[in-house]
Structure formats: C-alpha cells, structure tokens
C-alpha cells in the first residue's frame, strides 16, 4: 500500500553574474523520496526533510540526484529536486500535480515515469525512499490502527493506502528497477513484502517492528544512502547509535537482499511439506508486534529465523535455512527492546533474524488474507 506527499519552494532568482544552479546531469543515481499526505505525521515528515537537507549541507550529494514528492492532499502534490550548491540546498520544482490520486498504481506509474524523464541519472541507477504509515503485507481495508502515531504504507484511513503488490506493478510498468527501496514505515521487513518486491529492487531496507514516528535519523546517515552501493554497515551503526540514546530507545532495522528471497521460498516449500507447526510453540516464538494484549490476542509478525527453528527438526534443512537467512539479511541491528503502540509496552528481543513472517499467526484479523500472499503461495 502506498501514497505520497511534498510541498517545497522553487529556487530564488539569481543575479545575472552568478553561476546558474543546475542539476548534476552526470549523476550515478537518482533517489526518489515519497512522502504521503499524512496529517498525523506532518511534523515528523517535515523533520525528515529538514534532516536530509542538514546532511546534504554537510556531506553534499556526491554523484546523486535527489527528488522529493510530497502530497499536499490525497489528489495533489509537488515533485521537487534538491540541488546542493555553494554549501546550501536549492529546491527546484519539477512538476505540480492536480487531480492526481496517488492511491492507485496508474498514478504511481506516472510519477515514476516523470522521475525518469525529469531527473534521469547518467549512471541509470534509481533508489526509492518511502516515509509514511506501514503495516507490512496486510492488505488495506483488512485492519487500520486509527489511534497509532507510527508509519504506514499509506495515509490516515484504510481507503488511502496502496498495496505492496500495486507498488511492484507500478514499478514494473514504469520500467524502474531500484538498487534499494527504503521503507521509513512500520513492519515492512517481512518475507511477504520482500517476496512481492523481489523483481523490482535489489535490496529492501526496513524495520520488522514499529518504527518511532521520528523515523530514520537522516541527519546522521543520509550520505551513506547516496553511494553506489550504499554503505549498509554504517547505516546500521548510525541507526542503532541514534535510537540507543533516543528518548524512546527502541529501534529495529535490516537490509534484505531480495535477490535471495526466492531461494529461501523454495526451501521453505520443502520444509512446509514435511513439517507442521506445533501450536503449543506459538507463545514461545519471538514476535515483533503488540497485538497479544488486544486484537484477538494473537501476534501477527514473528521472527522468521525463530519460526524455522521451531518448525523444522531436520538438522540439515535447518542448517540450509540458516545459511540462506544470513545471505538474505546481510545487515541488521536492534536495540534491546522493541516498542508497540498497540499495547503501549516495550518487549525484550530474545532472538533477531532481521525479518518476520506471518505463517504461524492465528489472529483472525489477518489470517483470511495471509494465504493470498505471493509468499504463502510460493511456500505451501
């Protein structure tokens, strides 16, 4: 699910004797930042943009072009390029959108094509950053936590979201394959999302749990995202350092290599054909949500590594799965606890593979849609 947003100013007029501000036409990559029109996150999203600009003023943009789409409403927005020049950040409007519902794949396809036309990098590489609310693989309309202040792939209600499958379709239709998709949203580091996006991106950067409304500490790490390839080790280090000292000291984040998810899915189909999960083990699984106190009293997002350990008793298959998980999630980090707005509690992290799966859930709010996911169908 996905929608978008950004209202930015154009560059001011320059005197005739000053050097004109022009984009880096020889850039290696273009990064597109997509932020939805999300009133409950307006302050946090503004902080994200301010942090990005602060980082650029310190580190520049290197060989990267940066464009930001910010929705002014559910049907309007502005596409703006950030240009680093003379120690500051110039904002130049590339295109304004009206009667443009960002809640469907057709509009998203149009946006991606516009970016390719208006901010094409000489090196041909693209990356995507999405900041809004998030609920992993869960289809819109299935459930919406209307009291949360956390990030979601979409806006404020179940009717203002775009499903992950539609994002994948829009990217494919636009002919855009990204080096990475960074989700500054909750619950997006899951097998179901990684499998859905495997054909349109190399890497998925996301959190398996809820991420605080502040989101990614871009002032500390944005320059690590502008290199090709990104500096994943330093991104994880900066993320953990920030949240270890934040007033809400909870943070989980991972880098998932989507090119490896197909191999794990093939192995999981073998494991699922031979083993049935013992329901008595469900309370012992590492979970990353706060649903246990409410919402049918069942978790929905479980640690994939822990699930495999408790599902599969064949030592050889478990070893293969462990090796594949290491390749699938080459970089990960977490604080000692994760926090959930759903139950208002922090939860100790006993084990952490960096990616979740919903296979073992019996939560009646999520279970009906689970078996329709591409991951489920590939692994059962």
SS3 of 165-199? HHHHHHHHHHCCCEEEEEEECCCCCEHHHHHHCCC
The pLDDT assigned to 71 comes to 87
Q: Which domains does the chain have, with CATH numbers?
A: 29-186+213-249 (3.40.50.11970), 262-328+342-379 (no CATH)
Q: Reduced to 3 states, what is the DSSP secondary structure of residue 76?
A: strand
Least confident segment among 322-326, 343-347, 355-359: 343-347
**CB half-sphere exposure, 227, CA atoms < 13 A:** 11
d(CA 222, CA 224): 5
Q: Which residues pair with 356 in a beta bridge?
A: 190, 303
Question: What mean pLDDT is reported for the chain?
Answer: 88
pLDDT above 70 (res 42) = yes
Task: Note whether 118 and 79 are within 8 A (CB).
Answer: yes
Supply the pLDDT for residue 173.
98
CA distance 291 to 203: 28
208 Cβ partners below 8 Å, 6+ apart?
Answer: 187, 189, 190, 252, 254, 288, 301, 303, 354, 355, 356
Task: Return the higher-pLDDT residue of 342 and 82.
Answer: 82
In the numeric block, which tokens belong to residue 34? Answer: 């997509």
pTM: 0.91
| C-alpha of 110 from chain center | 21
Element (H, E) at 255: strand 252-257
- Range in 114-123, 285-294, 329-338, 349-358 the model is least confident about: 285-294
Q: Give the three-class secondary structure for 93.
A: strand
């Amino acid at each position: 699910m996905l929608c978008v947003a950004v209202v930015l100013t154009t560059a001011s007029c320059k005197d005739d004797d000053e050097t004109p501000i022009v984009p880096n036409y020889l850039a290696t990559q273009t990064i597109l930042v997509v932020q939805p029109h999300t009133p409950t996150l307006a302050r946090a999203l503004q902080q994200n943009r301010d942090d990005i600009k602060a980082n650029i003023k310190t580190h520049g943009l290197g060989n990267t072009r940066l464009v930001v789409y910010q929705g002014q409403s559910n049907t309007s927005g502005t596409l703006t390029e950030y240009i680093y020049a003379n120690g500051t950040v110039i904002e130049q409007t590339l295109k304004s959108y009206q009667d443009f519902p960002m809640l469907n794949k057709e509009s998203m396809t149009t946006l991606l094509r516009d970016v390719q036309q208006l901010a094409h990098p000489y090196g041909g590489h693209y990356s995507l950053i999405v900041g809004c609310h998030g609920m992993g693989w869960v289809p819109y309309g299935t459930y919406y936590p209307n009291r949360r202040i956390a990030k979601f792939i979409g806006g404020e209600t179940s009717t203002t979201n775009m499903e992950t499958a539609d994002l994948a379709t829009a990217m494919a239709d636009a002919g855009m394959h990204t080096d990475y998709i960074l989700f500054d949203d909750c619950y997006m580091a899951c097998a179901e999302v990684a499998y859905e996006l495997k054909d349109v991106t190399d890497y998925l950067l996301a959190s398996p749990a809820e991420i605080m409304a502040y989101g990614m500490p871009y002032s500390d790490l944005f320059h690590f995202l502008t290199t090709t390839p990104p500096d994943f080790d330093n991104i994880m280090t900066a993320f953990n350092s920030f949240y270890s000292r934040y007033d809400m000291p909870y943070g989980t984040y991972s880098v998932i290599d989507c090119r490896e998810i197909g191999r794990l899915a093939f192995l999981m189909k073998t494991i699922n054909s031979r083993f049935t999960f013992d329901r008595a083990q469900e309370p012992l699984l590492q979970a990353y949500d706060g649903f246990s106190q409410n919402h049918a009293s069942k978790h929905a997002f479980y640690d994939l590594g822990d699930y495999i350990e408790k599902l599969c008793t064949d030592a050889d298959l478990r070893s293969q799965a462990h090796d594949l998980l290491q390749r699938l999630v080459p970089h990960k980090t977490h604080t000692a606890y994760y926090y959930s707005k759903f139950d208002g509690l922090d939860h100790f992290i006993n084990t952490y593979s960096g990616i979740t799966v919903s296979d073992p859930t019996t939560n009646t709010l999520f279970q009906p849609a689970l078996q329709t996911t591409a991951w489920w169908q590939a692994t059962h």
